[in-house]
Amino acid sequence: MRRSLLRKPFRARENRWIQRLILNAAGFVCVGLGAVGVILPVLPTTPLVLLAALCFSVGNPRLFEWLCKNPVFGPYIENYRTRQGIRRRLKVFSIAFLWAGLILSVLVARITWLYPALGIVGAGVTLHLLLIKTKKE
């Protein structure tokens, strides 16, 4: 076999830019979905922001720092890292906003099978919020 027909062995260093590109793209997608999750109660903001932070921490440290210092998303990361929890007022607001959005969705959609699905999602998210440590104000 001729040498030119053989493939080069895979080298992690040569393909590092591809890994960074994919991680940065995934990070931006997660940040975008997390931003939508701030408005829509059905999308979980915290896991998406944490996943974006993970992608950026490996893909681009400057983007990771930007995300940590961001006034909207930074507190999600900081509260998770320090295990401080969230304030009672934010819990109450989040649960109220969640159920208002779910009830509005049920009224607008009028799809019978959607009622129990949204109820299960609402109960799960409510339980999750209640189980998070309450931060002292």
* Cα 24 from Cα 28, distance rounded (Å): 6
Average pLDDT in the 77-106 region?
A: 83
> What is the reported pLDDT for 92?
85
Buried b (16+ CB within 10 A) or exposed e, 36-62: ebeeebeebbbebbbbbbebbbebbee
Query: Which carries the bigger pLDDT value, residue 102 or residue 10?
Result: 102
The three-state secondary structure class of 111 is: coil
Note the pLDDT tens digit of each residue in 94-121: 788 888 888 988 888 888 888 899 899 8
Comparing CA positions, the residue from 68, 62, 58, 83 lying closest to residue 31 is 68
Nearest Cα residue to 44 out of 19, 71, 80: 80
Predicted pLDDT of residue 32: 93
Cα(52)–Cα(93) distance, integer angstroms: 25
pLDDT band at 70 (very low <50, low <70, confident <90, very high): very high
Q: What is the rounded end-to-end Cα distance, in angstroms, of the chain?
A: 72
